[in-house]
Structures are given as C-alpha cells and as structure tokens.
Amino acid sequence: MERLDKRLAATGKWSRKEARELIRAGRAAVDGQVCRTPEQKVGEEDAVTVDGVPIGPQGPVYLMLNKPAGVVSSTAEPGERTVLDLLGEEYQNLGIFPAGRLDKDTEGLLLLTNDGPLAHRLLSPKRHVDKVYYLEVDGALDQDDVEAVRAGVVLGDGYTCLPGELELLSSQSARITIHEGKYHQIKRMLAARGKPVTYLKRVRFGPLELDESLPKGAYRQLNDRELKGIFSQ
C-alpha cells in the first residue's frame, strides 16, 4: 500500500505538491469514488483515475505504434485483427484505444492511449493538428498536383479540402501534409486528381514523428520530449 499522492507523483506527470493539490480539488478517484485525501492508502489492485483517466501501475499510457497493414484501428471488430491485438498482456485491460484512425491498409504512426481528454484535444477538428503521410500513386505526380493541394482539392462529393502541402519525391511518390482528418482523405484527394494511392504511411501526427527504428507492428512508450510535445498542443 502507498499514499495516493505518492502513487500519482510516481507517474512523473505531477510533482508530489501538484498531486496533493489535484487530489484536494476532487480530480482523483479510487475505485470510482472521488478521494480528496492525499494520505489515503491505495493498493496495486485499486483502480485510480485522475479526471477520469486510469492511472495504471505506470500511470496513463501513451504508446507510439508503427501500424502494419492488415490490422484495423479500432478496439474490437468482429473477424478483424485490431491494433490492440498487437499489444502485450501488460497493456490489455487498461482502457487503451487508438487516438485517430488509419485505414486497414495504411501503415505508420498511430498513438495509442487511455487518456481520453488528451486524445479528444489532439483530434478536435478545431485544432488542425498536422498529419504528414508518405504516399505512392498509380500515375505520374506533377506540379499541377502540388498546386491543386495548395489550393484545396475538391473531392468527389464536392467538399473542398483545406489547403495542404504536397512535396514530390519522385513521379510516383510524395510527402503530403494535411491539417484536417476527413474519412479516407488522402486516398480521396489523390483519386480526385486521377492518381489512386497504392501505398500510404503516416510519418507524423502533430509533434510526434514516427520512430523509423520501430519495425512494423512494434510499439514503445513515448519519451519525455514526445510527451511534452503532445501536451503542449
């Protein structure tokens, strides 16, 4: 058993003083009951939350996954392998979910967390968090595509995308930056240009850069610099 304020401070997210203050402010709960007593003793098995976010043995969890093709970005889908199936036993049952979605055949950076408020902030359409993708197409990319993306591509359904940036790497590959996240957005943008996407990989999400040393399907906890980055968005 250890004190509640000590348990919170052990996550590294708050100092002992900040932990005492947030507990007194009624933001912490033990087994679903608000607890305003920093000295309250809690055991390993007690479910502790702050602002409704579970504080597991290692605090709230923030993982960077290099998503492989062939898995879906949801927590459960009948007949499908999900990104959660890629996680080890220690990350099961902590309420982790993907912050955002990548299509089943899209690879690359996906943030997995059980911090609902943070995910909500990062995904809010108002914040226009940048997303950067590497893509390959069937067809030849050219300067007209660069300009069309800069101006805002009009999708098949008539929606005009926010201006983005297309940086050509070869006639069939590019990096694209978008500032919104509509359903199948990149594929629909390139389809509207008559150059269907044949490969798509997300390489950046806001301040998070894909760690290219992570093999496909592998994940790791965010480091302090990355955590600071996502909390300052």
Point out the residues that are catalytic.
103
Phi (first) and psi of residue 22, to 5 degrees: -70, -30
Q: Are 49 and 104 in contact (CB under 8 A)?
A: no
Nearer to ligand URA, 92 or 160 (CB): 160
Q: Report the nearest approach of ligand URA to the CB of residue 176 (Å).
A: 9
Determine, following the binding rule CB under 6 A, whether residue 200 of this chain makes contact with ligand URA.
yes
Which residue stretch of 51-59, 139-147, 153-161, 181-189 sits at the interface with ligand URA (rule: CB under 6 A)? 181-189
Nearer to ligand URA, 105 or 211 (CB): 105
Interface residue with ligand URA, options 6, 179, 184, 216 (CB under 6 A): 184
**DSSP type of residue 196:** -
Determine, following the binding rule CB under 6 A, whether residue 175 of this chain makes contact with ligand URA.
no
Query: Across the chain, how many H-helices and E-strands are there?
Result: 6, 15
Q: How many CB atoms lie within 10 A of CB 134?
A: 18
Which residue stretch of 34-42, 79-87, 144-152, 178-186 sits at the interface with ligand URA (rule: CB under 6 A)? 178-186
Can you spell out the DSSP letters for 105-150?
T-EEEEEEES-HHHHHHHH-GGG---EEEEEEESS---HHHHHHHH
- In a 13 Å sphere around the CA of 136, the CA atoms on its Cβ side amount to 6
90 to 119: interface string for ligand URA, x by CB under 6 A = ------------xx--x-------------
Using CB under 6 A, list all residues that contact ligand URA: 102-103, 106, 184-187, 200
